[in-house]
Amino acid sequence: MNKHIEKAMELRNETPMVSNCSQTIMRCYAEDMGISEEMAAGLGCNFGGGMKCGGVCGAITGGLMVLGAKGVENPAKVNEFRRKIAENHDGMVNCVDLLRANAARGGNKKEHCDKMIQEAITLIDEMV
C-alpha cells in the first residue's frame, strides 16, 4: 500500500472521524504541497459531501486540488482524472448519486467513501 493511502486510512479510522473525503486527501498530501495538515483540512472542509450539497464527490475535488498544487492544470489531464473515476462508477461523479447507487447495492457508506479516496489517491500518484 502506498504512503498516501496508508495515511488516508489512518485518518479515516480515527475516532471520532473528523476528516471528510476532500480533507482526507488534502491532509495526505499536505507535506508534499508545503502546507500544514491544518491548512489542508481547512482548504478541503467545504468540499466533503459533494460541496455539502451532494455535488461532485469530495474525493474528486480533493484530488483536483492536489493535482493543481502539483502543477497539473492542463484541461486534458484534469478531465482524464475526472473521466477515469466516472468510468469506474457508471458515469457518476456526484456524491449523492454515488452514495445512492452504493446504498442500492447494500453497500456501507464509510467503506464506499474510503474506496473513493483510495481510487483518487491511486490516480493522483499515477498522474504526477
Reported as a single tens digit per residue, the pLDDT across 57-83 is 999 999 999 999 999 999 999 999 999
Reported as a single tens digit per residue, the pLDDT across 32-44 is 999 999 999 999 9
Reported as a single tens digit per residue, the pLDDT across 104-118 is 999 999 999 999 999
95: three-class secondary structure by DSSP: helix
Domain count, the chain: 1
* pLDDT, position 79: 96
Domain of 105, in residue numbers: 3-127
